[in-house]
Every structure is written in C-alpha cells, then in structure tokens.
Structure 1
Amino acid sequence: MTGRVSFVGAGPGAADLITVRGAKRIAEADVVVWSPAVVEAECVREHARADAELLDFSRVSEAEVVDLYRRASASKLKVVRLHAGDPSLWGGLREQHETCQKLGLAVEVVPGVSAVSAVGASVGRELTTSDVAQSLVLTGPEGAEHVAEFAAHGTTMAISASGARTGRIVEQLRAGGYPDDTPVVVAYKVSLPDETVARTTLGELEACVKEHKLYRTTLFLVGEVLRPTTARRAVVGDEPVRRTRSKWSMRASRDSASVAAWSAVHDWQETARARRIAPAKPKPESTDPVLELVAGEVAEPAETVPADSVPADSGPVDSAAVEGPAEPPRPKPTVAAAAKRKPTTVQASTTPRKPAASRAKKTKRAT
C-alpha cells in the first residue's frame, strides 16, 4: 500500500456542486489542501473528517506542498488537493501530477463542474448548437493576447481574464470580427450567494463591468448562442400547464440545497469517515421446512382390491380392476398444500394385508 494524492474539482463555487466521488475522497483524506478564496469553506467542513489536517494553499509555497507529498509517500497518507471548477482547466495539473508520480504516489484526478458549464446553466443556454456554433473556444488569462485570432472563427468563446482588462478584450473581439451587438454574459463567483451574472452586448461590455465593479478574474462568454429568445409558456386553453415536480425537487424546496445534497450521500460518507470495513458475514444455508417436506414426501401407492372381497354374484371380474389401475397415480400438487399445513408424523400400519389373488386363479361361478 502506498500514499495517494487526489486532485479533486470542487466545482464553480457552491458547496453542493461537488461530485459524489469528490466528496467521498475528501471524507477519506488525512490531509486536505485547499484555498478558501476559491473553494467554499462549507465544502470542506461538511465532508472532511474531524481529525483531518487542513492546509490553506494560499498561505504555503509550492515547495511546502511538495514536502507534504513526500510525507504522504513515507507515511502512506491520503491527500486531497482541491481545485476550483475542474482540475483540467487552468489548474496547473501537469506539474503536480508528474511530481507525485516521481515520488511513487498513487495519483487520481476527479473531474468537477467547470465555471463555464455553470454559467451556461445559469443563463439557460447551451454553448454549442448545430445551427449557430458547433465549437467552443476556451482561453485563460495567459491566452488573452490571442483573443483576436480566436475571434476570427466566429464561434462561441469563453474568456477568463481580469475585469480590469475589459477594454483590451473588447478591442480584440472587434478586430476578430464580432459586431457590437454580439451577446456577452459576464460572470463572477457564479453559483455562490454573492454571484454576479449579467447579460450585455459587446458594445456595452466596458460599462457593464464598471457598473458591477468587477476588477478581478472574471469569465466572459461571447457568441450568438447567448442571444435571448422570447420565453414561451406551455398552455392548454387559457390555463398554463403546471409541470410535475419530482420527489427530489420537492424535498430540496423544503430544505436548503446543501441539506438536500448532503443527505443523499450520508451513508457512504459515514462509512468513509469510520475508515473501517466490517467483514461480511457468511449467509446461513437455507433450511426451508416446506421444501424439505415436499422433497421428502412420497406419493402413496394405490391400494389394490383383494380378489376375496369381490362377491360371487357380481359377474365377471376384470383382473386389471382387481390389481388396481395400470397407469401410475398422478402426483398431487403438494407445494401449495404443504405450505398451508404443518408437517405431521405418519406411522406405518402394523396390520398385515391379505395377499392379492393370483392372476392365473379365476373365481368359479355357481351353476
């Protein structure tokens, strides 16, 4: 057994948008490395064990994190490093992954809900459609200088950049061919209680950013797929159709979203925190008295009629009738009857039977 490091995507911000596997890895972890500035504190408090070591990533250097990986390899610890959104998007995953492999650690990457997906869900739009845009261009802060080149494709773009550089981004989008009426969605801290999600156009983008005072890293979605459409209500006659609410949605409406999410994974979470797996008990062999009774029950043989008991004036006697039916008796439906009656003890009779008449001997008629 060796140590393990799991790079877990914590989602865009809301504590209940982490995946079930990600929450399970936090519950199993001996050490959790996270940054309170980008990952909701509730996400860690709800899932981490009480004795788990919590390390603020914003207060330590990369060298100290590497020392933690060495300690995990020597002591066979389970470490979770939380990333905002998805670890594969702007998370610096490659260097960390290679470092852990060199130290002989088991490495696992747990994907998460990206901020791009969360913003698309927030505005109720898919970012790729067959009739408008079939591709999506993602660019981070380091790729903001190439926005004009990416904009030349005329498809949907997701730009993660500082809000203070909005003017430069607008110039590059125009140079790439986007008109001023191109729809733009501005998102900051999406899915959190203090989120900012605003709809605007390319021509009004700078004013929108200044109005909401967005100067830190902000996500900009640009493209025709974001153009709002007229909302349609499903109606029958004069009354709107009320959609059936699922059991889960009704439960979530009564409680908070976090309580509804945590209760769904409570059982395995407690098991992971205990860190012990009870040995499976062998199942006892089946001893069903009904089946044993049916298996042991034997059909009684048909009783033959003695020839001496036949009256002399009863006419000719059929030998087959005397000895009994030629066909074997049909089995009785004993399964249903055996299930209803209690098993009883049957004693064999000790009275000897009269020997049956020989086939060769015939009864003489009185003349």
Structure 2
Amino acid sequence: MTTTGRVTFVGAGPGAADLITLRGARRIAEADVVIWAPSAVDAECVREHARADAELVDFSRVTPEEITDLYRRAAASRQVVVRLHTGDAATGGGVQEQHDLCVRLGLEVEVVPGVSVVAAAAARIGRELTQTEASSTVLLSPESSERVSEFAALQTTMAATVSGARTGQFVEKLLEGGYSEATPVVVAYKVSQADEVVVHTTVGELESVVKKHKLYRPTLFLVGAAVKAPTRRVSGSATTSVDEPLRAARPSRWSRRAASRIATRVDEPVAARVDEPIPARADEPIPAAVPAPATAPVAEPNPAWTAVEEIQQSVRRPAEEQAPKPKLTVVAAEMPKPPTVNASTSSRKKPVRKPKRSAN
C-alpha cells in the first residue's frame, strides 16, 4: 500500500492475456481495484493477473463521476488502482485527461505502455506497414475520421479505427482522397482474441465485407499497398476468396474457464459487487489433458510466462509469510579410526640356527 494511493494506466495489449507486458502484469497483481472493459480486454487477462480479493469494476457500466469517486477513494484510503486500456495506453482512450485528474487529486500516477492494436494486426498478417516508397504510416482515431480524405491524399499506409456502422462514409472519403477501389485493405477486429476477425479485401469490397461479418463496433482498417496479402501457391482445385477471413485459434481451456467465471460478475450491477471478491482460482479440478501423439514435439516452457507467474507469486504473498530459505549446513562425516598397530622401536634379533644332528 502506498502513502498517497496510486493509479496506473496499463496498456493491456490487443486483448490476449499473454500479450501484456511483464510490468503491466505486475501492476495488475498489485492492484486493489481493477477498472476494465470486458468487451475490449479478454477476461483471461484479468483472471490470470488480478488478486483473488481485488475489486473488479466494469468501465462500460459506470459513469465518469463514479470513476472520479473511485479515484478519490483511492487517495483517501491509499489504495492501488489499475485502469486497463486496449492496446497502448498512449494512443487513445482518454488517458491524458484521466492522468491529469489523478494528479490534481494528489495520487501517484503511472502509465505502462503496451502492444498497440495496429502492431498486433500487422504482426497477424505478417506485413510491415512502412514497407512502401513513402515509408510512413498515418494513424487515425475515431475522433479524426472526418479528415480521412485529407490524409488519404498522402497515398501512404493508413491505420484508421472507424465504427463499422460508418464503413460506407469511410469508403467514400478514401476514394475522394485518391485511393482506388483496388487498394488493399485489411479488416482487423479483436485481434489476438478467440473471436478475432482478420480479413483481406479491397476498398471497393470493404463495405460488403464489414456487413457480411456484422462488424458494427469500432474496427481497425489498414489501407495501402503495404498490407497486400502475399501470393499463395494453391492447387488447381482449390478456391480462394478475397474476403475469406483468416481462422483464429480455438480458445484455450483457461480462456473458456475465465470467460464463464468472470461473465457472472460482469453481468451484475456494479453497486452489488463493489466489495465482493472474485471466486477463488484453485477450487476447481483441472480436467485431464488429452495425451499428445507419440510423434508430437514436446512444448518448451515459455520463459516469459514463467517470469510472469513468479512475479505474481512474489507480489501476492506477504513478505512476512515468505519463510527464509534454510541455510545449507555441511556436516563432515566421521571417518572410521584406523586399527591400532603395536610396533617396537628396538632392532629385530636374528634367529639362532641349531646344528643339524648326524644320521649316526
């Protein structure tokens, strides 16, 4: 517990629990209160890192005044608060305004950077966004969507977060700015999460693709020649489509378990669960794993994830409960005593030979 209370704004990455930084994971493990939006950050991220007695607050269900009251309470009670933001906290989410508010309230304030959604989307498709003649990328937030045509005139790679319901207006501004209908576009929604959608398409087909996948919420669009899909060698009988989404990995056992356990808390009113601890995590039997085939390679332990688990354990255990390591005492084994030998120091006498008797 700090002397004045602390608020840390953590960039939680694109959503997957293992794409958060080690520092971000440590801050969550230290927090008394975690403010997050389940629709933006995977439930597994909170489940894996938050303490069992931490207070979870759904950001989408509270008002700005209630968030301010949480900050005031943290200052008065010297609590540690973590507010999770999708991607990198430095590229949106109103962090600056909240940062300045916490400073005025006398709180310690920290911002922990994270993996941005743009970086995660580029990694997902294996493209370098600056691999063009212009070698630059324009980042557009939802607030600057009105200037799409102005930035489109630069004819460079564009990364724009736009509401899926306004895709038609977005396409019109792209065409006004000079992009052709054949310009490659990547649609990225909930990248790295179990229900992610990543689609390669074009400006001309963008609106129909968004409607097909029913993407009405804010979605990331990567526009430009740099995001063109690589050419794949397929058989003559294979069929391909420009709007075929890349399949996401199936949710892991921990992800399904976390979603079912935290969804119950999320659906409850905030006032009814302010002081309610989340369920214990070690009270459920872990189902037996399906044995891998004999020819399957054995997965090596992830050193980064092992480091996160070690950090969690060191933070969650109070210092006084950490028993000191026993000192190694080396005891010399008692050697058996050699047998006693009685020796004489005087010279040894020569034996006297007796004369032989004659045969007579």
TM-score if structure 2 supplies the norm length? 0.68
Structure 2: stretches of 5+ with no match in the other structure: 234-296, 328-360
Deviations 1:332-357 (A, max 9, x none): xxxxxxxxxxxxxxxxxxxxxxxxxx
SS of equivalent to 2:106: coil
The within-5 A match list for 1:1-367 is: 1-129=3-131, 131-230=132-231, 251=299, 262-276=305-319
Distance change >3 Å, CA 219–CA 279, structure 1 → 2: closer
SS of equivalent to 1:184: strand
Deviations 1:238-289 (A, max 9, x none): xxxxxxxxxxx9526xx8xxx986434221211111242789989x9xxxxx
Structure 1 distance, partners of 2:67, 2:200, is 40
Tell which structure's C-alpha radius of gyration is larger. 1
Distance change >3 Å, CA 108–CA 273, structure 1 → 2: same
Structure 2 distance, partners of 1:72, 1:261, is 31
Amino acid at match of 1:210: K
Structure 2 distance, partners of 1:279, 1:124, is 45
Deviations 1:110-151 (A, max 9, x none): 11111111110110001112x433111111112111100001
Structure 2 distance, partners of 1:91, 1:18, is 17
Structure 1 distance, partners of 2:310, 2:52, is 17
Structure 1: stretches of 5+ with no match in the other structure: 233-248, 285-367
Distance change >3 Å, CA 172–CA 12, structure 1 → 2: same
Q: State the 1:93 CA deviation.
A: 0.7
Distance change >3 Å, CA 278–CA 51, structure 1 → 2: closer
C-alpha contact 2:200 2:229 (8 A) present in aligned 1: no
SS of equivalent to 1:127: coil
Deviations 1:170-222 (A, max 9, x none): 11111111111111001111111111100011111112112212111111000
The number of aligned residues is: 270
Structure 1 runs (4+) deviating above 6 angstroms are 277-282
Identity percentage over the alignment?
Answer: 61
Structure 1 distance, partners of 2:316, 2:141, is 37
Higher relative contact order (CA 8 A, sep 6+): 2
Distance change >3 Å, CA 260–CA 44, structure 1 → 2: farther
Distance change >3 Å, CA 280–CA 102, structure 1 → 2: farther
Structure 2 distance, partners of 1:231, 1:220, is 22
C-alpha contact 1:28 1:78 (8 A) present in aligned 2: yes
